[in-house]
Chain A
Amino acid sequence: MSVSAIPQISLPFLMGNSLNAWSDALAGLTISWFPLGLVIIAAIPLVFIALYALTYGVYGERKISAFMQDRLGPMEVGKWGILQTLADILKLLQKEDIVPASADKFLFVVGPGILFVGSFLAFAVLPFSPAFIGASLNVGLFYAIGIVAIEVVGILAAGWGSNNKWSLYGAVRSVAQIVSYEIPASIALLCGAMMAGTLDMQQINLHQSGPYGFAHFYLFQSPIAWLPFLIYFIASLAETNRAPFDIPEAESELVAGYFTEYTGMKFAVIFLAEYGSMFMVSAILAIVFLGGWNSPLPNLGALALYDWTSGPVWGAFWIISKGFFFIFVQMWLRWTLPRLRVDQLMYLCWKVLTPFAFIAFVLTAIWEIYVP
């Protein structure tokens, strides 16, 4: 990193701004036998998910949806309804924890847990900053695509365990949808991996750094990169069960889909998992196609905007902003489009996205081989 005009904030024991400096220093932090640093590394994304779901996820979505529909949204709890989410959480905590009499107790209880763990596991390979990544795997991207499939198990456990026709319908739809859309999503991400030549998340980010800011992002590096970018974005909506692909929860036909029978904190955990995977797919999209923690601002002569806005703390700012921007687009789409029918959903996946993903894959390969 070059000299930055704005001094970087570094924790006293985490000196140095080199790649993965903070997480490496944390990993070495142990109190006698207890690996405190590893626990902190795991806790940071967890706290992040909770805080972001609390503020932007719930309150932000309610406000954004309200503004798009010419409403005001929550206004009563605190000024502009800022404390609405806290009130919601208090309500959820006080609710009776009901397990239906005819439910499969074990699957019913374990379902939301698996769901949340599935979405949280992918946070291990998200580089939150040049100096921080949970696990710097050399197969990071592959791991992120693969581990999300655990969510399917959680959804199926929740839907089957509820012993309710709506839950089961929702679960079956969700599984069919997630398994199908993983194909175009993975092929689209492979295009990014081909351009980087690596599956390591930090390396993919490093390949996109440069003094011209956004011009180094893979989206602008190749004339066909917008295609896998769009395909992955659409497929990621389906993978996170967001509108217009929210047929697993389809509130007008299935009540709430696979979490119809859930109340209280189990319901909250399912929602936390949904918001967790929303950020996760947005961050992957930002990392593979939009430079992750790289600043989009270019150096313009004496105005060294890129150098001024680069560094570990700025990196965290950029990747979180990019993630939040795509979450905003997800919300924006949710309040624009009606829900797809099941056959339309499968048509879109198998007959549109998958062939186009293959075309994008071949074209990217040709571009990477023949264009220097």
Chain B
Amino acid sequence: MSEYFNNIKTGAVTIATGMGITLKHFFNAVKRKGDAGIDDADYFRQVDGLCTLQYPREAIPTPVNGRYRLHNNIEDCIGCGQCVRACPISCISMETIKVTPDDLAVCGKTSDGQQKKFWVPVFDIDVAKCMTCGICVSVCPTECLVHTPVSDFSEFDRSNMIYHFGNLTRLEAEAKQRKLAEVQAQAAKEKQAAAAKAATDKAQAENSGQ
């Protein structure tokens, strides 16, 4: 019988305690929980108040060394294609055009002074596929490929998730392609002429030798 009354007493006391706790939280809802980070001394002292973060308008900043969205500084890219080969899920696609000798100055140098030898008309990163493994970053010789702290880049259209970093427009790329073809044709012709000349020289020498 005493157990019966003890049960009732425990029930009443615990219900009262619980209701006290919820009511305290209810009245504390006029306050916001502080935004002290884990590094702050009073991080564990901020127990009262609302803890909701209204996300698109309020956000905890990502760390400055956070590795999220992949970004290519195309000015520093030499078009070596190592990232394309390193990527385990092939989310980078790249096309290059060799720079003609007279354009070398126009194409310029990387920020650490290396001469760029390729135009990069197409450098597409599919950030929807990218799993931020960072292998491409570690193989990049000029450190132009980096993960940025931008973590929220959702899109309504799948095609918007493909980021274009190429440094030539389509028309420019066609012009460069034509120019390279001309230069190469010119070089081939010269080579052919040189070869023909060498052949005639050789024939003459053989003839004179007899």
Binding site for B on A (CB under 8 A): 64, 66-72, 75, 332-333, 335-337, 351-352
Q: A72 and B15: CB pair below 8 A?
A: no
28 contacts between A and B (CB under 8 A): A66-B29, A67-B25, A67-B26, A67-B29, A67-B50, A68-B22, A68-B25, A68-B29, A70-B28, A70-B29, A70-B33, A70-B49, A70-B52, A71-B50, A71-B51, A72-B50, A332-B19, A332-B22, A333-B15, A333-B19, A335-B22, A336-B15, A336-B18, A336-B19, A336-B21, A337-B18, A351-B4, A352-B8
Apart from A66-B29, A72-B54, list 14 A-B contacts with CB within 8 A: A66-B52, A67-B26, A67-B50, A68-B22, A68-B23, A68-B26, A68-B29, A70-B33, A70-B51, A71-B52, A332-B19, A332-B23, A333-B15, A333-B19
Q: Which residues of B contact A332 (CB under 8 A)?
A: 19, 22-23, 26
Q: What band does the interface of chain B fall in when counting residues whose beta carbon is under 8 Å from A? A: 10 to 19
Contact A64 B18 (CB under 8 A): no
The chain B residues found within 8 Å of chain A, CB to CB, are 4, 8, 15, 18-19, 21-23, 25-26, 28-29, 33, 49-52, 54
Known pairs A67-B29, A70-B29, A70-B33; A336 contacts B51 (CB<8 A): no
Q: Nearest Cβ in chain A — how far from B47, in angstroms?
A: 9
Residues of B within 8 A of A67 (CB): 25-26, 29, 50
Question: CB distance B26 to A64 under 8 Å?
Answer: yes
Known: A67-B29, A70-B33, A70-B49. A336 touches B54 (CB 8 A): no
Chain A residues with Cβ below 8 Å from B49 are 70
In the bound complex, CA of A355 to CA of B54 (Å): 51
Closest 4 CB pairs of A and B: A67-B29, A72-B52, A336-B18, A336-B22
B103 to chain A, nearest CB (A): 54
Residues of A close to B52: CB separation below 8 A: 66, 70-72
Residue of B nearest to A64 (CB): B26
